[in-house]
A and B are shown apart, each in its own frame.
Chain A
């Protein structure tokens, strides 16, 4: 595997607590870590016991595709699950400092995951590209999603916006349902978009997303490809 290395900026919000009745202003600390991919690989072994060495997730959506996701998106999820902001009871103990380690370890492991090639045949929605539903989803995607997630669904590492191409259709569907029912908290813009669309429109747009092509250089060559770091 080719290791590429980006420095990873981490924003930590610290609430300074003052005595008596003073109003405490939030203090934002920006920390930057130089990821160590070798250590990231070692730490990923903990993750691999559920996410498997390839990080491809499941076609039925029980696990997401994490391989190749932007590192800032991944670290945001780890921090949100660690704090309980994103509810995931079964993953919670794995991302605590006592199991996975401190910020440096988080930086190392997300950098490693972002280098993994993606599933060559992730699961797609029910409507192929000649259908009316597909086309309706395309129109909605371009109106409502593309400005943040990009025309190709490429996301944006700098703004921690998830890459959408390659994600399993049932996983996106489940997450969107959680957002819609208020069980998963996301930023207010995303929240508003999801609330405005009908269930039918959401299904169409998720269907369209599931057909966004994964660039060849980010895809594993075949379904039989195995992450030799772990075999």
Chain B
């Protein structure tokens, strides 16, 4: 990772620039009268209008951040909301598996931050967060610093290649480039789509990580979609699905039935495949009991909270996935009620999925709004809703919806009501696309 070098370079150059630019700029946050100071260095203010109300800065324009920005403004129009994302446009990770199998086009997944900000009356800044000073409530970004009243950190996940026995930067980089996982960037999912459509035959390995990884059903859905692509285009390939878990994690009966009924001669499912190393040059995956040769692969390692959580000093030391140390009901840092962590970097064991992040953000927006008014609101469960494509042309899907409850005795969250529809059909396929369209509509266009 080159992030640290970039940050140092940035701070040096911005310090040099600061004397030249900090005075006389209309962008200066004149109401406070303070110059933003980070680590004794100055940095110029970010190029956004002066705040018009309590400023809430959101780091990360994924499902959580986008929903948060919209509903903060809706719940409390006085808030001055700034959404930050390092990408210029949004490409949806949910539905990307069925996009790989050509059931929707790229336009369906791609949306504009400019439109989201305009339609919902908040500010968007195409920048990366670099440094956090909680004492002065200043966030430094690649476009300058921003003083906040509330900060929401929703940066999503990073991959944790260590947990599959890959512990040197050379091998990790080779895996990221040659066998991308496809759960954190548009470039990854595009590379995977090309890989699937241009497969020359032989063995394609797909892996399912252990732990609380992003989108529990997606690796199994991806196996179905990849097999459907092979069938449709007469690609003579085998898919070896190596699962680090002892069984299919969700919709198990449905997926097993689908593997057997439609893709029996394509998909080979191997549970309990504890991956402990990948030999990139030899194209070989090692597990506790076996080793598997492959011709090509999509390797999805376990995940952790985005490294920014750790770098900003927000992570819970005891957390395996380095998730944030937050109040499990109100989402603020244990020692700071002006900083919140939501989405897939949260510490609660909720499913890391788009719908979970969306429903959670609607609730947390109300929590922050109430906090600003000196009030409190009752806890609401996030909702995990998930459609999985099984067959294509036309798309046929299964679905599950689940809610959570807090178990006082266990001091943790467990599933409350849930409903599984594992008899896939075209109507559920349609419903899955309608679900996604409704979510994009909510986050970007209404």
Contact = CB atoms under 8 A, between A and B. Distances in A.
B445 A49 contact: no
A127 interface: no
A129 interface: no
Contacts of A170: 378
Given A87-B446, A89-B438, A93-B441, A49 B380 contact: no
Contact of B434 (A53, A62, A87, A93): A93
A99 B380 CA distance: 29
A96 B438 CA distance: 11
Contacts of B428: 45-46, 49
Interface size class of A (residues with CB under 8 A): 20 to 34
Interface in A52-74: 52-53, 58, 60, 62
A58 B403 contact: yes
State the main secondary structure of chain A at its contact with B.
helix
A60 B381 contact: yes
A170 B446 CA distance: 24
Contacts of B430: 46, 98-99
B13 to A, nearest CB: 42
Contacts of B427: 42, 45-46
Interface in B390-446: 399, 401, 403, 417, 419, 421, 425, 427-428, 430-431, 433-435, 437-439, 441-442, 445-446
Contacts of A52: 401, 417, 419
7 tightest A-B CB contacts, nearest first: A90-B438, A89-B442, A93-B434, A93-B437, A89-B441, A89-B446, A60-B380
Interface of A: 42, 45-46, 48-50, 52-53, 58, 60, 62, 87, 89-94, 96, 98-99, 170, 230
Interface of B: 359, 378, 380-381, 383, 385, 387, 399, 401, 403, 417, 419, 421, 425, 427-428, 430-431, 433-435, 437-439, 441-442, 445-446
24 contacts: A45-B427, A45-B428, A46-B431, A46-B434, A48-B419, A49-B399, A49-B401, A49-B428, A49-B431, A52-B401, A52-B417, A53-B419, A60-B378, A87-B446, A89-B441, A89-B442, A89-B445, A92-B446, A93-B433, A94-B434, A94-B438, A98-B430, A99-B430, A99-B431
